[in-house]
Amino acid sequence: MNNIQEQKDKAILSGAAYTNFFDKDGQKIADNKTLEGSLRKYSSFSDEDIKYFTDNFEVIHQQLETASGFSAALIKDKRTGQLTLAIRGTQEPIDFVQDINLVKSGLALEQLVDATNYLSKLMIPVGQKYHHLYY
What is the pLDDT at residue 94? 64
CATH 3.10.450, domain 3-89, yes or no: yes
In which residue ranges of the chain is pLDDT below 50? none
What is the pLDDT at residue 98? 67
Closest CA to 20 of 62, 48, 70, 57: 62
A 10 A CB-CB count for 56 gives: 15
What is the pLDDT at residue 95? 65
What is the pLDDT at residue 92? 65
What is the pLDDT at residue 74? 96
Tell me the pTM.
0.85
Helices (H) then strands (E): counts for the chain? 5, 3
Single-letter residue type at 130: Y
Domain ranges, ordered by start, for the chain: 3-89
What is the pLDDT at residue 1? 73
3-class secondary structure per residue, the chain: CCHHHHHHHHHHHHHHCCCCCECCCCCECCCHHHHHHHHHHHCCCCHHHHHHHHHHEEEEEEECCCCCCCCEEEEEECCCCCEEEEECCCCCHHHHHHHHHHHHHCCCHHHHHHHHHHHHHHHCCCCCCCCCCCC
